[in-house]
């Protein structure tokens, strides 16, 4: 018991000095930061620290959504270089405001990349897919669907229409009503097999009613 009490007694000053050193170091950094801010450079620091991270976030967001589909390797190289430059600046610069600027740019780059990829894979990927797909004009509904399997945009020939009387609605597991109706032309009889269909969600009844745009 005496040995344990003596060890604890001897350890307390050491722990106290360690905590005081930590507090002194943090206080010295804070004091150095405020002492470095003058009326001359305060405006410059403010104009740099506030818009630079916002501009970085918007630039990364634009870069990912505009060029990721076609040049993902180039975008990866650019963003990796920006991240490495931010990490280098955090360790190399001695000025506290520059270190904080590097941290903000690093956080803006990472958040812009995450948000940009979320937007791309939820919306933009479909836009680029249909933009790069083939376009067919004056398509006759009676022709085989295999001839236009790579279509992204289809314009039907004059006289084509949706046969609403033959529409069908399927109840999906998610609760949505999936609607399909054959696209026909004047040369097709009521019993002719359909090759092309119009599609929609929650815009029909189970049979014989199709109001999808």
The pair of three-digit structure tokens given for residue 86, joined into one six-digit string: 């931010």
Measured CA to CA, the distance from residue 64 to residue 76 in angstroms comes to: 9
Please indicate whether residue 133 or residue 106 has the higher confidence score (pLDDT).
Answer: 106
Return the higher-pLDDT residue of 44 and 53. Answer: 53
Residue 6's pLDDT is 47
The owner of tokens 């249909």 is: 130
Write down the pLDDT at residue 112: 95
Q: Checking phi first, is residue 181 left (phi over 0); if not, alpha (psi -120 to 50) or beta?
A: beta
What does the alpha-carbon distance between residue 104 and residue 192 come to, in Å, rounded to a whole number? Answer: 65
User: pTM here?
Assistant: 0.60
pLDDT at site 100: 86
Question: At 63, is the pLDDT very low, low, confident or very high (cuts 50, 70, 90)?
Answer: very high
Helix (H) or strand (E) holding 15: helix 2-36
pLDDT 10s digits, 124-181 = 998 888 888 888 888 888 888 888 888 888 888 888 889 888 899 998 888 899 999 9
């Amino acid at each position: 018991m005496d040995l344990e009490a003596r060890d604890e007694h001897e350890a307390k000053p050491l722990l106290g000095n360690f905590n005081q050193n930590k507090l002194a170091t943090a206080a010295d950094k804070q004091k150095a930061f405020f002492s470095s801010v003058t009326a001359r450079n305060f405006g410059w620091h403010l104009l740099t620290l506030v818009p630079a991270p916002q501009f970085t976030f918007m630039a990364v967001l634009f870069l990912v959504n505009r060029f990721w589909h076609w040049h993902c390797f180039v975008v990866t190289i650019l963003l990796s270089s920006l991240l490495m430059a931010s990490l280098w600046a955090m360790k190399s610069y001695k000025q506290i405001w520059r270190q904080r600027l590097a941290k903000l740019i690093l956080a803006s780059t990472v958040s812009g990349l995450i948000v940009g990829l979320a937007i791309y894979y939820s919306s933009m990927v479909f836009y680029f897919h249909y933009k790069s797909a083939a376009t067919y004009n004056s398509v006759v509904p009676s022709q085989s669907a295999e001839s236009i399997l790579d279509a992204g945009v289809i314009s039907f020939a004059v006289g084509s229409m949706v046969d609403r009387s033959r529409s069908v609605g399927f109840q999906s597991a998610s609760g949505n009503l999936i609607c399909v109706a054959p696209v026909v032309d004047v040369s097709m009889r009521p019993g002719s097999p359909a090759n092309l269909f119009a599609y929609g969600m929650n815009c029909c009844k189970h049979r014989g009613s199709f109001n999808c745009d």
